[in-house]
Amino acid sequence: NVPLQAPYLMAPGTYPGMSRTIVRVTTVDGLVGLGEGGDPGDARIISAQPFTGLDTDELRLALGATTVGPRPRPRRDARVVAGHPLAPVEVALCDIAAREAGLPLCEWLGGARRRDIPVSEYFAYRPGLETTPADVARYCARMTEEHGAWRFEGKVAVRALDEDLRLVRAVRAAIGPSAALRLDANM
């Protein structure tokens, strides 16, 4: 579990942090590949598989040939919906194949699609830290000042609509008219 500095509030409840499954595959030659799964339950499924002693290329091809993720399903909670419990193993094996080829993983997969990835500063009510619209706005202003943030996304639909409106107006005033502002109401 990767806990947040402080949990934040969202429409379905409180979000305390992320739980993931991290896979580390090591070859007999000492190459290490890493993969990540979105469901902590993946670890139990992965550890029950007989992977030891198998050829990494054959295993990767077998997983690729048989890994078909489930159809997307609506979320009603804070969980991240992952495609397949063995996907982190497949990613780790792809990481190894790229290292064997002397390539960055993105190049091994066919090349980078973009060089810049837009990121947003995230805001929400966080118990004990930002509990009012003014608190959240001060946090956003501080992120602009300290880190040059100019794109923001934040949780709404946690409290009454009139307070959401106060929140959005306070954040807009704190970050200025030219900063991007996105709102996330959790379905």
The per-residue pLDDT for 65 is 44
The per-residue pLDDT for 129 is 94
pLDDT along the chain (187 residues), means of 10: 83 82 89 87 81 81 56 52 75 92 92 88 94 98 96 94 97 97 86
Who's near 32: CB < 8 A, 6+ residues apart?
Answer: 24, 25, 26, 96, 99
pTM of the model: 0.68
Phi/psi at 106 (5° precision): -65, -35
The per-residue pLDDT for 143 is 97
**87-101 and 56-66 helices cross at what angle (nearest 10)?**
140
- d(C-alpha 185, C-alpha 11), whole Å: 7
